[in-house]
Structures are given as structure tokens and as C-alpha cells.
Amino acid sequence: MPDVPDALLPDEIEESELPALLSRLLDRAAEGGATVITRDGAPIAAIMSMKDYGVAEGAVDEALAARTYEDDGIRYTSEQVFGEGDAEDGERR
């Protein structure tokens, strides 16, 4: 696959084929392209620019920060969480 023209570089590549094209895929990522790496046909990773990674990471952080949870008022001691001592039901405060 090393003889593939840049315009025809795959958007998805099997892990075993990666070494032959890594340098070119990294160049493409630096220019804004992305490639999904698969293992036995299942996606396991992606090659993308750090700029795109930062944007994606920021979007995930924003989505997680926007999630809200109802506080049930139950609190647990470290002993209850980590199994030190006797575990009792959480106490309401």
C-alpha cells in the first residue's frame, strides 16, 4: 500500500498495514485529515491533528460538565467505599 497516491490514502486502515503508511498518515493528520485504525475490522484508535484532538476533547469536557445529577443526599465513608471495616448503609445528612 505504500505506492498509494496521497489523494487515495485510506480513511480507515488495519493495524497491520500501519507501519508502511504511518509517516504519510501523520502528514495528512497535520493538514487536518483523520484516519481510523482498526484491529480485525473493529475501530481501536484514530490518527488526527492535535488541533482536532483538542477540539474533540473540549467538546467532550463541555458535554460532561453540562450533565447534571440529582443529589440523593446519601454520603458514604471511605471505609464503606474502599471496604475497610464494616460496611453499613449510607447516612443521610
Judge if pTM exceeds 0.75. no
Is 13 strand, coil or helix?
A: strand
Q: Where are the alpha helices (DSSP H) in the chain?
A: 18-30, 50-66, 78-82
Q: What is the pLDDT of residues 25-73, one digit of tens each?
A: 999 999 999 999 999 999 999 999 999 999 999 999 999 888 887 888 8
Cell 497516491 identifies what position? Answer: 5
**What's the confidence (pLDDT) of residue 78?**
87
Cell 467532550 identifies what position? Answer: 60
Please name every residue paired with 92 in a beta bridge, in sequence order, or none if there are none. 74
| pLDDT of 21 above 60 | yes
